[in-house]
Amino acid sequence: MNYLSTRGHPDRKRFCEILLEGLAPDGGLYLPEQYPQVDTATLAKWRALPYAELAFEILSLYIDDIPPADLKALCAKTYTAEVFGTDEIVPLRELEDGVYLEALSNGPTLAFKDMAMQLLGNLFEYELARRGSELNILGATSGDTGSAAEYAMRGKKGVRVFMTSPDGRMSPFQQAQMFSLQDENIHNIAITGVFDDCQDIVKAVSNDLGFKRKYRIGTVNSINWARLLAQVVYYFAGYFQATASNDKPVSFTVPSGNFGNVCAGHVARMMGLPIQTLVVATNENDVLDEFFRTGVYRVRGAADTHETSSPSMDISKASNFERFVFDLVGRDAARLRKLFVEDLGLQGSFDLSGDPAFQQAAGRFGFKSSRSTHADRLAVIRDTDKRFATLVDPHTADGLKAAREHIVPGVPMVVLETALPIKFAATLVEALGEEPARPKKFEGIEALPKRVVKLPADAEAVKAYIAQNCD
């Protein structure tokens, strides 16, 4: 299997070459040259497999530069009941007639990002050992991504993590989750500033090519193809749990921010999994909902990007969206470049409303969308508690609200549960007047000793800290 860039760069790469890379050299995103097709006989065979083996089968179609026995061992080591809480790994439960919740957030940091990041940690360790190389991951987080990365990379050989976060701005629970890690290779850096300052620092350090090369700086952001690929697996696992045979369509609703999660659903659908509809759920930051309603993709400025009660969906642009648009325009790289480089670069938007391709977003590709407000999420949290004695987090509440707007009788609607409510306790308290119960292993974590350094919002200070801690 070879990978190409959405922007038309002539090079083709194999999986392990792009594993440790971010963007393609021309600024595009990597995609497989074609989507492997899965027929009904294969689906029938896969239906009975435990999650780790299903993961191995799907990953094998995209990874041909890791020996199968090694890849199988990596999957088996990643997807265990010990790490994800149940043998099913992503158990499905019916909430009401035809509406299901697929639990993706029972990993170490209680958000769905663990599903991919835990595999990435094992893949990185494996590949770095094979190359005799090291990687220093530099990131910026306001919560979920940073903790998922740290829990995936802790104790891994050849990897260090330097994670910046805005000092004092994460929830006490999120701070405790990250700062209580005592592993030598995990470095928490609290920056005196806001999240944008952290992101600017990461950019400044990455743009210093000499420093980047010398200290082997890398990232684990959501455009990484391996993360997306790992997420394809739970669409198959959800499908098998929601159906008794492989001729039945299923729809999925996905709380979305950077379009990574739902893009994995798109890949599963392109492979032939019988997905009828992919519902993109957004919050007040409705860049994606606007596109699927109107055909106009309009990147938001800072002043237009809202801080909401589903903060992991607070985006100004959706960094994985380019992958879908590449397929939408028939994999025409020149066309894609015009949209993402020229139109977005010059005017901050592009408009496909008059283009036949746009009709295919809903038609051929099965996309629909919805948006929710803070009041909608509170209402869903209350209603789900009252009618089903089930607590959902505000991101999953975005999903439930969107799902109900697109239900078709007879077609199971699977809503992806992207976080556990305890991570967003303040909103649960606002909705219900009380804190959600806390999983046992997180009791009292706020009182644990913290491992964190405080640095000014200055790239030079962060570089000096990395240099000091790299020997």
Ligand X SMILES: *Cc1c(COP(=O)(O)O)cnc(C)c1O
- In angstroms, what is the minimal distance from the CB of 222 to ligand X? 5
- In angstroms, what is the minimal distance from the CB of 150 to ligand X? 14
419 is an interface residue for ligand X by CB under 6 A: yes
Mask for 239-258, x = binds ligand X (CB under 6 A): ----------------xxxx
| 251, 285, 418, 427: residue in contact with ligand X (rule CB under 6 A) | 418
- In angstroms, what is the minimal distance from the CB of 103 to ligand X? 12
Residues 374-403 that bind ligand X (CB under 6 A): 395
| 59, 111, 242, 431: residue in contact with ligand X (rule CB under 6 A) | 111
- In angstroms, what is the minimal distance from the CB of 417 to ligand X? 9
- Residue 341 burial by Cβ neighbours in a 10 Å radius (0-12, 13-18, 19+): middle
Longest dimension (CA), the chain: 60
Cα–Cα nearest to 392, from 414, 423, 433: 423
| 5, 78, 141, 261: residue in contact with ligand X (rule CB under 6 A) | 261
Mask for 138-177, x = binds ligand X (CB under 6 A): ------x---------------------------------
CA 62 to chain centre: 19
- In angstroms, what is the minimal distance from the CB of 418 to ligand X? 3
Q: Which residue has the tokens 């050989």?
A: 157
- In angstroms, what is the minimal distance from the CB of 318 to ligand X? 7
Q: Is 113 a catalytic residue?
A: yes
Mask for 337-366, x = binds ligand X (CB under 6 A): ------------------------------
Residues 126-145 that bind ligand X (CB under 6 A): 144
Instruction: Find out whether 417 and 104 touch, Cβ atoms under 8 Å.
Output: yes
Identity of the residue, 419 or 462, whose beta carbon is nearer to ligand X in the bound complex: 419
Cα–Cα nearest to 239, from 422, 409, 51: 51
Mask for 69-108, x = binds ligand X (CB under 6 A): ----------------------------------------
* Residues near ligand X (CB under 6 A), total: 16
350: enclosing H helix or E strand: strand 349-351
Cα–Cα nearest to 273, from 438, 42, 104: 42
Identity of the residue, 164 or 261, whose beta carbon is nearer to ligand X in the bound complex: 261
259 is an interface residue for ligand X by CB under 6 A: yes
CA distances from 174 to 171, 177, 186, 327 (A): 5, 5, 15, 37
Cα–Cα nearest to 283, from 317, 258, 300, 308: 308
Identity of the residue, 238 or 260, whose beta carbon is nearer to ligand X in the bound complex: 260
- In angstroms, what is the minimal distance from the CB of 471 to ligand X? 34
CA dihedral 451, 454, 455, 456 (to 10 degrees): 160
Q: How far apart are CA 231 and CA 229, in angstroms?
A: 5
Residues 201-240 that bind ligand X (CB under 6 A): 222
415 is an interface residue for ligand X by CB under 6 A: no
Of residues 72, 113, 156, 317, which has the active-site annotation? 113
Strand ordering across the sheet containing 99-103: 92-96, 99-103, 413-417, 250-255, 275-282, 367-371
Instruction: Find out whether 9 and 28 touch, Cβ atoms under 8 Å.
Output: yes
Cα–Cα nearest to 253, from 276, 227, 222, 233: 276
Q: Which residue has the tokens 């098998």?
A: 240
Q: Which amino acid belongs to residue 233?
A: V
Identity of the residue, 6 or 418, whose beta carbon is nearer to ligand X in the bound complex: 418
| 89, 128, 233, 313: residue in contact with ligand X (rule CB under 6 A) | 313
Instruction: Find out whether 111 and 419 touch, Cβ atoms under 8 Å.
Output: yes
| Contacting positions for ligand X (CB under 6 A) | 111, 113, 144, 222, 255-261, 312-313, 395, 418-419
Catalytic residues: 113
